[in-house]
Amino acid sequence: MSFLCKCLASNILKNNRTNISRRPFSTQPFPLVIYFQHFIVYSFSCCTFAPLNKPMRNVITVFLLFVCAGLFAQQHKTENVILVTFDGYRWQDLFTGADKNLVGEKKLVKDTAKLRGQYWAETPQERRTRLMPFFWGTIAKQGLLIGNRKLGSKMSLTNLYKFSFPGYNEIFTGHKDTRVNSNNYGDDLNKNIFDFLATQPGFEHKLAAIANWDAFPKIINSHRNGVPVFVNFKCASNGASCNGVAYDSWQTACPAGTNCAMVDTITYHFAKEYIHRNHPKFAFIGFDETDHYSHEGQYDSYLTTAHMMDAYMQDLWNMIQSDPEYKDKTTLIITCDHGRGHLGKQFWRHHGPLVRDAHQVWLAAIGPDTPAKGELSKGRHYHTNQIAATIAKLFGKEYKEDHASGKPIEVVYSGSSGQ
Ligand SMILES: [Zn+2]
């Protein structure tokens, strides 16, 4: 199906970097309340030549508490956000581990005994921990996960296409646009979270994207906003390198799986090196292989990739928490651009407008403002169009562009001090 094809022409972009850091100030809310209460009470008293009575003072106190709570709520600890996507990775595999309908299917798995030995266990809790130990050993204990529909936690796309370009468009813009209906779509005209942050003080040259699909420069519209987008060994004219090896020279060092995407391992290691060296305030890392191996009908490779992604997220989080510029002030958000089918033994391979339940997605978050709620149950039905506003909110900003967008997902930053 043409809408599944990810092969597109790429763009080469400029890249500039500087190091600019910003520190939020902190305040003590209750002394402020008392100070302002005294100030207003005595100002009123002076103006009216009559002291305010007790009920009036109480009204003013409550009002000031709300004002100060609102001010204090904006003071998030997050100064950096790293957004990661696992393309087309299903919530079913994230929350329940290896699929019992697929793990022993010889048409989808080369060595079923080996795969069972690696990832099978009797309970979903054991299976998912074997498959993704960082998600269930660290994120579930220190952060939160949305989208386990077996517990009533729901997250969905709002776009009806259920494939990649519209999915990433929705993530970055906070908006579904029915015109964005092809993976061959051109430069996305809708402004996105990169455009928004690029206009904010302190974010100049502090945005970057490293991703495994050559459509991302168009999805992000780096022609418009100038954000460096590293895809498939492109965007290397500025001399970007990893461990001393020029980025574009890697192209011949490792065979690419397709002519529009490279292997996720290279994407990850370049992203890690770039982030470590340049400390972007907002970085996006887009992985592809979960989607690639699903379409190929290789469930063993799909699980192996998910397990590898989990290890990379562990490694990334370790780097974040050992880097003074990132430690305890960086939020990591991981999500996907669409779900996949789950009926029978073949539908997991597919997604798109005609595939039932492929709109079902998930989100994981860990960081200084994210409460340790683990996997959510019941509660609100969240949507992918809320991610852009959530990222802005973590920076203490209200996401506004020239189109409607979803509201921020409050639970992601509800662990901020004072709440
Ligand atoms: Zn796909």
* Distance in Å, CA 182 to ligand 1 centroid: 12
Query: What local confidence, expressed as pLDDT, does residue 375 receive?
Result: 97
* Distance in Å, CA 163 to ligand 1 centroid: 6
* Distance in Å, CA 156 to ligand 1 centroid: 17
* Distance in Å, CA 353 to ligand 1 centroid: 12
119: left (phi over 0), alpha (psi -120 to 50) or beta: alpha
* Distance in Å, CA 89 to ligand 1 centroid: 10
318 CB-near residues (< 8 Å, 6+ apart): none
Query: What local confidence, expressed as pLDDT, does residue 345 receive?
Result: 86
* Distance in Å, CA 14 to ligand 1 centroid: 29
228 CB-near residues (< 8 Å, 6+ apart): 13, 14, 15, 207, 208, 209, 222, 235, 238
Query: What local confidence, expressed as pLDDT, does residue 7 receive?
Result: 39
* Distance in Å, CA 305 to ligand 1 centroid: 15
* Distance in Å, CA 6 to ligand 1 centroid: 8
* Distance in Å, CA 164 to ligand 1 centroid: 7
Edge-to-edge strands, sheet with 282-287? 229-231, 207-211, 282-287, 80-86, 330-335, 363-366, 144-146, 374-375
Residue ranges of domains in the chain, CATH in brackets: 29-73 (no CATH), 78-413 (3.40.720.10)
- What DSSP state is assigned to residue 137? I
* Distance in Å, CA 369 to ligand 1 centroid: 33
Query: What local confidence, expressed as pLDDT, does residue 166 receive?
Result: 96
pTM for this prediction: 0.82
Q: Which of 80, 85, 161 is nearest to 326 (CA)?
A: 80
* Distance in Å, CA 288 to ligand 1 centroid: 9
In contact, 186 and 218? CB cutoff 8 Å: yes
Give the separation between CA 192 and CA 174, rounded to whole angstroms: 7
Q: 166: number of CA atoms within 13 Å, CB side?
A: 22
* Distance in Å, CA 289 to ligand 1 centroid: 10
* Distance in Å, CA 350 to ligand 1 centroid: 7
Query: What local confidence, expressed as pLDDT, does residue 44 receive?
Result: 39
* Distance in Å, CA 306 to ligand 1 centroid: 15
Give the separation between CA 257 and CA 268, rounded to whole angstroms: 15
* Distance in Å, CA 295 to ligand 1 centroid: 7
pLDDT in tens, the chain (419 residues): 333 445 333 332 233 333 323 333 233 333 343 444 444 444 434 334 345 566 666 665 555 555 544 444 457 899 999 999 999 999 999 999 999 999 999 999 999 999 999 999 999 999 999 999 999 999 999 999 999 999 999 999 999 999 999 999 999 999 999 998 889 898 999 999 999 999 999 999 999 999 988 899 999 999 999 999 888 656 544 555 555 556 556 555 555 556 556 688 888 988 998 899 899 999 999 999 999 999 999 999 999 999 999 999 999 999 999 999 999 999 999 999 999 999 988 899 999 999 999 999 999 999 999 999 999 998 899 999 999 999 999 999 999 888 889 999 999 999 964 33
* Distance in Å, CA 88 to ligand 1 centroid: 6
In contact, 152 and 160? CB cutoff 8 Å: no
